[in-house]
A and B are shown apart, each in its own frame.
Chain A
């Protein structure tokens, strides 16, 4: 467990031009390992993660990490639902956060090479990032997020649109990242993946946290009807 936790969220709300994206949210995360956020499309998962990370405006309520906000932010990284690629080579993409933090080129490129090998991109360092396949792009985004050794990694559907094998590869990386002490907060539509990775589950519905329990409890004995219906694969209104 990292120094960022426990995380206390109370009455947090994020809106844009009058539309509430997510909230009000009350949440307490002890941050032991991996927290998976699930819920139907449009339920506010992405918005919740962005609000916790601090990239979506907090219009009401509080988000309290165990350390001051700016310190917490510096210890986090975010992998987006749609990978954002810089128009540069693979290695330049991965090294970018280090270069922005003032690390020397040589060290940054060395570490980027290490990480690219760790995620299996070692053979395509000099390719333009845009030429990578969807799965490779996700791996690039993951390596770029991990290169600053964050204590907390947000992942927004890291395996959407990937096939079984690519998903397994990403999950293996995530598990090794988690094993090395980085906490994860991730969203997914894949209930199997949630079961494989989650210690805690946050179930979102209509922009609010509907249920927040340990994974074991959530998957064996969900408390609410909506969660039961969601687990059955019914359409949740």
Chain B
């Protein structure tokens, strides 16, 4: 109990004094996860809508694989990305290991299946609603996809937020490919792991509360933005 209280106090002081290190790693956390999220959405949303409107041979398999990959263990993703990016690996020449870019790559791999699966779920429902009309209007495949993506944008936002949640709280993969290097690749989650290991529970808890506050703030902000945009039942 004393530790929790200490953590709260620590978090409070870290924030009100604009602690420079805290500021830096928080921004890096946001930078890594938001960049990964944007890239993941650019891949996952078109993929999800394609899976909703197009009937092809391997469709069910792809959907099944995506669903299974939602539970992909981040540590394993980190390990694989590590091997690929390490100096002797196929992408070693780019020298990306232990950089924020490597962390972004790992998080994209972790987030894509999650966002794609959740998005596909709601797009498929919408497609059963719209199917007859869009077939009758004879619209192109791309127009179908765009219509679905636009009209399901609220559900897609939820999918993106789930992806953000998975990314911002993730530690296994970015620890391996980033290395938790001070002033280079340290983010909130890896810092928490480090401080816990060192036995500085108050600092670790303080960072933890900052992380929670950050996740909640981003969620509220995005929901606030989307609500002011359109008022309605969807």
One of B138, B143, B147, B233 near A86 (C-beta < 8 A): B147
One of A78, A100, A130 near B139 (C-beta < 8 A): A100
Q: How many residues of A contact B (CB 8 A)?
A: 17
Complex: A86 Cα to B152 Cα, angstroms = 10
**Contact indicator A84/B130 (Cβ below 8 Å):** yes
Least distance between B198 CB and chain A CB atoms (Å): 52
**Contact indicator A73/B151 (Cβ below 8 Å):** no
**Contact indicator A73/B130 (Cβ below 8 Å):** no
Interface size class of B (residues with CB under 8 A): 10 to 19
Least distance between A143 CB and chain B CB atoms (Å): 14
Q: Given A84-B129, A86-B147, A88-B151, do A128 and B233 touch, yes or no (CB 8 Å)?
A: yes
Query: Which residue of chain A is the closest to B150 with respect to CB atoms?
Result: A88
Residues of chain A within 8 A (CB-CB) of B147 are: 86
- Binary contact readout B112-131 vs A (1 if CB under 8 angstroms, 0 otherwise): 00000000000000100110
Query: Which residue of chain A is the closest to B136 with respect to CB atoms?
Result: A78
Question: Would you list which residues of chain B between 143 and 169 have a CB under 8 Å from chain A?
Answer: 143, 147, 151-152
Question: Would you list which residues of chain B between 197 and 234 have a CB under 8 Å from chain A?
Answer: 232-234
**Contact indicator A73/B138 (Cβ below 8 Å):** yes
Query: Which residue of chain B is the closest to A79 with respect to CB atoms?
Result: B136
**Contact indicator B151/A77 (Cβ below 8 Å):** no
**Contact indicator A100/B143 (Cβ below 8 Å):** yes
Q: Knowing that A78-B136, A87-B152 are A-B contacts, what are 12 other residue pairs whose CB atoms are under 8 Å apart, sorted by A's residue number?
A: A55-B132, A55-B135, A73-B138, A80-B133, A84-B129, A84-B130, A84-B133, A86-B130, A88-B151, A96-B137, A97-B137, A128-B232
Q: For the complex, is A53 an interface residue (Cβ under 8 Å from B)?
A: yes
**Contact indicator B151/A55 (Cβ below 8 Å):** no
Residues of chain B within 8 A (CB-CB) of A80 are: 132-133, 136
**Contact indicator A74/B138 (Cβ below 8 Å):** yes
Q: Given A73-B138, A100-B143, do A130 and B233 touch, yes or no (CB 8 Å)?
A: yes
Least distance between A220 CB and chain B CB atoms (Å): 35
Q: Given A100-B143, A128-B233, A130-B233, do A84 and B132 touch, yes or no (CB 8 Å)?
A: yes
Complex: A97 Cα to B132 Cα, angstroms = 14
Least distance between B182 CB and chain A CB atoms (Å): 49
Complex: A97 Cα to B151 Cα, angstroms = 15
Task: Provide a sorted-by-A list of 16 A–B residue pairs whose CB atoms are within 8 angstroms.
Answer: A55-B132, A55-B136, A73-B138, A78-B136, A84-B129, A84-B132, A84-B133, A86-B133, A87-B152, A87-B234, A97-B137, A100-B137, A100-B139, A128-B234, A130-B234, A131-B233
Residues of chain B within 8 A (CB-CB) of A77 are: 136
Query: Which residue of chain A is the closest to B152 with respect to CB atoms?
Result: A87
